Structure 1
Amino acid sequence: MDEISPARQWRVPAKLPAAKIAGAVALVVLGLLFADGDPVRLVLACLAAAGVAGWAARDLIAPVRLAVDPAGLTVIHGFAGRRLLPWSAIEAITVDRRPRLGLTTEILEIDAGSSLHLFGRYDLDTTPEEVADVLRAARPGVTG
């Protein structure tokens, strides 16, 4: 049996929530600058800023997106909840690569039968392939 640490976790990069909050502030400032007395423009800018701020709040409230331990995987569920996926429920751990606009995106896919959990680089603060390798090695009873 492979020796794994009791728990390993992956989280959003520390700078990401700050960038999202800065973006929300920028949206409000732009709304104020370009409103020209039109309340609709300002309200739309503030609504967009509130959405970005909510997105940043999720990163601050629940920064850990994925964790592994001998019992299985803990994944983020809903806005800031967590769900334990026992190893027996996990059917596949794969990395989906897709070229788009000259760039290749990678998504870690964890197939738990009735649910599919997707994680990108900015959810994990590392490449999905590295995380997939760690998860495959940590999975009990699976070789290679």
Structure 2
Amino acid sequence: MDEITASRAWRVPASLPAAKLAGAVLLVTLGLLFADGDPVRVAVAALAAAAVAGWAVRDLVAPVRLAVGPDGLTVIRGFAGRRLLPWSAVEAIAVDRRPRFGLTSETLEIDAGESLHLFGRYDLGANPEEVAAELRAARPNP
């Protein structure tokens, strides 16, 4: 199942890769400004910037993290691959809430037996609780 045949798809917000790329540029700039001629500091800043830029590239190459269709769910796999989870393989759809640093974070959990797929608000571009409700509604009755 690809984006075109999906009934509904959730993707990374468009502003997120731009923010990550801006962060990579900021890391390089700070590394150059505060390196004081130390090549190790420049190398560490460049390495960190490359990691953040790679993270942004993933968002650009594979922005759709989750899609639902009549055959099941399509989830991201690896850097930019996709995997179809047939409805028969989906054991549970739940939202995990945990307090962290005074804030409550929500994570959508899709249990497919041998694999567990986790999606946060920034993976989906939507509230995980709302996405879980849509997925449960789209699931055919057994």
- Structure-2 change in CA distance of 1:76 and 1:6 (3 Å): closer
Over 2 Å off, 4+ runs: none
Separation in structure 2 between the aligned mates of residue 7 and residue 20 of structure 1, nearest angstrom: 29
The corresponding residue for 1:133 is 133
The Cα shift of 1:91 comes to 0.2
| 2:104 counterpart SS class | strand
> What percentage of aligned pairs have identical amino acids?
78
State how far apart, in whole Å, the 1-side matches of 2:80 and 2:7 are. Answer: 19
1:12 maps to what in 2?
12
One-letter identity of the residue aligned with 1:19: A
Letter in 2 for 1:89: A
Give the whole-Å Cα distance in 1 for the aligned partners of 2:78 and 2:28: 27
* Contact residue 6 and residue 67 of structure 2 kept, 8 A: no
Task: Give the secondary structure class of the aligned counterpart of 2:118.
Answer: strand
Q: Which amino acid aligns with 2:17?
A: P
Amino acid at match of 2:127: T
Contact 2:74-2:85 within 8 A present in 1 as well: yes
Q: How does 1:1-144 map to 2 (within 5 A)?
A: 7-141=7-141
TM-score by length of 1: 0.94
* Change beyond 3 A, Cα 1:130–1:6: same
Shift of 1:100: 1.3
What displacement does 1:7 show?
A: 1.4
In the aligned structure 2, how far is the partner of 1:125 from the partner of 1:11?
6
Aligned AA for 1:45? Answer: A
Change over 3 Å in CA distance of 1:129–1:78 after alignment to 2: same
Change (3 A) 1:6 1:67: closer
- Consecutive unaligned residues of structure 2, counting only runs of 5 or more, are none
Q: Which amino acid aligns with 1:15?
A: S
- The whole-number CA distance in structure 2 between the counterparts of 1:6 and 1:46 is 39
